[in-house]
């Protein structure tokens, strides 16, 4: 079963609907204890970094997520769920992230002709060709994004995909049992659904 973590802010409906369309065994979980019955979890999120971390603390999910990852169980982060995995964000100075990955979340500083936030479809160029989440997905496929901030990992080896929007930035990461995306697979039509199914297959094979 895939647990979709509900900590008070996130794109729960669209993720849940996508899993239901794919006939995946998934449920929204609101308490850390419910993670025990899951084989994999999804950490979604929309909104501000500081609010996200505050809600994770309030709902007692911080240590649960850290323990989950340390135990080697599969986790997928989506949008703000990717950013929360890093140490800090320029959006909320002084607020620590989960610190699963070293690095900072930075705000786009782009020419005036490029709007911030970036809203719409853009190409994801694979960096790790052996990443199982891209199985059956053509390199350079378009995914849907809505964001003003992007992650800057200290360790380039975790970068799984990059996107060009004024700069060439990291749009997804993969290391061991953690895969996370800045884009929204659940809103990216056929390729996004394929990625969610790939996550399911990956979790089942683990």
138 is catalytic: no
Which residue in 80, 148, 79, 89 sits closest to 117, CA to CA?
148
Q: From the candidates 19, 79, 131, 172, give the one annotated as an active-site residue.
A: 79
Report the C-alpha dihedral over residues 147, 153, 158, 159, rounded to 10 degrees.
40
Q: Which residues pair with 178 in a beta bridge?
A: 75, 175
186 is catalytic: yes
**Angstrom distance (rounded) from CA 43 to CA 169:** 21
Task: Using the structure block, give the residue that is written with the tokens 């378009």.
Answer: 142
Q: From the candidates 52, 131, 172, 184, give the one annotated as an active-site residue.
A: 184
Which residue in 31, 20, 40, 90 sits closest to 201, CA to CA?
40
Please enumerate in sequence order all residues whose Cβ is within 8 A of that of 102, keeping only pairs 6 or more positions apart, or say none.
Answer: 86, 87, 153, 154, 155
Q: From the candidates 38, 52, 91, 186, give the one annotated as an active-site residue.
A: 186
**Angstrom distance (rounded) from CA 100 to CA 178:** 9
How many residues in the chain?
206
Report the C-alpha dihedral over residues 61, 150, 100, 53, rounded to 10 degrees.
-30
19 is catalytic: no
84, 78 contact by CB (below 8 A): no
> Annotated catalytic sites, by residue?
79, 184, 186
């Amino acid at each position: 079963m895939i647990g979709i973590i509900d900590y008070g802010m996130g794109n729960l409906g669209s993720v849940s609907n996508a899993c239901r369309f794919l006939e995946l065994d998934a449920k929204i979980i609101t308490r850390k204890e419910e993670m025990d019955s899951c084989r994999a979890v999804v950490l979604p999120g929309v909104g501000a970094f500081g609010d996200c971390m505050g809600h994770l603390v309030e709902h007692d999910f911080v240590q649960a997520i850290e323990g989950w990852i340390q135990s080697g169980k599969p986790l997928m982060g989506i949008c703000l769920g990717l950013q929360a995995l890093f140490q800090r964000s320029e959006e909320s100075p002084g607020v620590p992230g989960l610190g699963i990955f070293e690095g900072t979340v930075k705000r786009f500083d782009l020419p005036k002709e490029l709007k911030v936030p970036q809203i719409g479809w853009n190409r994801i160029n694979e960096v790790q060709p052996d990443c199982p989440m891209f199985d059956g997905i053509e390199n350079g496929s378009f995914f849907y994004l809505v964001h003003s901030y992007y992650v800057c990992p200290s360790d380039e080896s975790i970068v799984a995909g990059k996107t060009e929007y004024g700069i060439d930035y990291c749009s997804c990461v993969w290391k061991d049992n953690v895969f996370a995306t800045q884009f929204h697979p659940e809103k990216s039509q056929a390729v996004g659904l394929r990625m969610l199914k790939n996550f399911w297959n990956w979790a089942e094979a683990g």
